[in-house]
Amino acid sequence: MLRRARAGTFLTFLLAGLLCGVWTARMPALAAKFHADEGAVGVVVLVWGLGALAAMQGLRAVLARFGSRAVLRVSLPLTALSYLGVAFAPDYAALLVAVGVFGMAFGVTDVSMNAQGSVVEQAYGRSVMSGMHAGWCVGAMSGGLLGVATAAAGLGFTPTVLMAALAALPAGIALGPTYLPDRARSRAAAGRRTRMPLAVYIIGGLAFIAFMTEGSIADWSGLFLHDELGTTQAVAALGYPMFELAMLFGRLVGDRLRMRLGTRRLLAWAGFGTAAAMTVVVTAPSAPVAIGGFFVTGLVICTVVPTTISLAGSAAPDAPAAAVAQVGAMGYGGLLLGPVVIGFLSQATSLRFGVGVAVLLALVVGFGARYVPLGGRRDVAARAPLPVPEPEAGTVAA
């Protein structure tokens, strides 16, 4: 049952990453379809993030009451359905509405799948969250490569997004039975509002910066390569899948690295390494150099987000799903703010200057790693696996 749950959660991350990978890789095609400049694309990203944040308000209480399994079974198929609206939007105004709805559904799915990942990790009794997030990288890379293939074939934004949505809908429904029920101790807090410890908000602050950095790279890599370095749309679409390919490699070994190096040292190396790699990107004289920089960036930044989610789940042991929801909401604030800030900075100056903000953000992660609360006396101590939670009375076992 644990293996099935781990595989199901991995595939859920993969599916969510696929949808985002297509969306990100074909951002130049979106701009071309709606005749949108950098500022208008920034507004699209802003609306998507606002939709996600709006849906997250109150999500802590919903997860505490119903559990991540029940929420995820509904939100994942709804995310695929909302993606259809993005594909068929006839004009820019309709696109903003569709993107807002997609953002709401995706935000709930993102937090719920991370909460489910925390349930699985606690059942295993050791760090497995980085491996879960490797599924996101597989999906995002696959979506990015789909974007490359469709761009090379001359397909526009609409048919590309439509193909991804039609593939994601039945897959999202099929994954529902694989999820684990949340721990009974967590669900016992459903009748009252759980007060989060200070450690959760400190971890959330780091997640804010980490998400801001990742989102900035993901949303602007294609336009950076296309507009600043003069590549074709097909070559520009390579930036994001290369970034995600490197993140996949790093996350496949991320749990072992964390056990060997310790959480704080791992985060410090990730922050300083990201700053160095992004310096290569913003000073790159050609597209191959920039793409190589994006690859190295993905290799070193990949462990930051899963580590913050893992820390959140252990910082509030009586309400891990609610803690993950809180950190996820704070992270989405960074995911929302980063690309928008870069969009408006790029419009006022240049994309090189705007994307360079990621260097400063990465340095904050590196210097701030020493202050991250670990939720215990020992860093990543080995623990015995917890028993798999049984379904509550009145529920049907998956």
Write the pLDDT tens digit of every residue in 48-90. Answer: 878 888 888 778 778 878 888 999 999 999 999 999 999 898 9
Stated as kind and residue range, the H or E segment containing 197 is none
Higher pLDDT, 378 or 366: 366
Higher pLDDT, 386 or 124: 124
pLDDT at 133: 87
pTM comes to: 0.76
Write the pLDDT tens digit of every residue in 102-123. Answer: 999 998 998 899 889 888 888 8
Do the Cβ atoms of 23 and 313 come closer than 8 Å?
A: no
Mean pLDDT of 150-164: 88
pLDDT at 375: 62
22 pLDDT above the threshold of 90: no
377 pLDDT above the threshold of 60: no
pLDDT at 84: 92
pLDDT at 385: 43
**CATH: 3.20.20.140, 1.20.1250.20, 3.40.190.10, 3.40.50.720. Which one for 194-374?**
1.20.1250.20
Report which of 320, 387, 396 is spatially closest to residue 70, judged by C-alpha positions: 396
CA angle 16, 57, 105 (to 5 degrees): 30
Write the pLDDT tens digit of every residue in 235-282. Answer: 887 887 788 788 889 988 888 888 888 888 999 999 999 999 999 988
Helix axes 263-282, 304-315, angle to 10 degrees: 150
pLDDT at 272: 94
144-182 b/e (C-beta count within 10 Å ≥ 16 → b)? bbbbbebbeeebebbebbbebbebbbebbeebbebbbbb
Phi, psi of 140 (to 5 degrees): -65, -40
d(CA 17, CA 5): 18
pLDDT at 105: 93
Higher pLDDT, 384 or 310: 310
1-177: CATH superfamily: MFS general substrate transporter like domains (1.20.1250.20)
pLDDT at 190: 46
Write the pLDDT tens digit of every residue in 192-244. Answer: 555 778 888 888 888 888 888 787 777 778 888 888 888 887 788 788 778 87
Where, residue-wise, is CATH 1.20.1250.20 in the chain?
Answer: 1-177, 194-374
pLDDT at 56: 81
For the chain, what is the mean pLDDT? Answer: 82
d(CA 382, CA 175): 30
pLDDT at 389: 44
Mean pLDDT of 155-174: 90
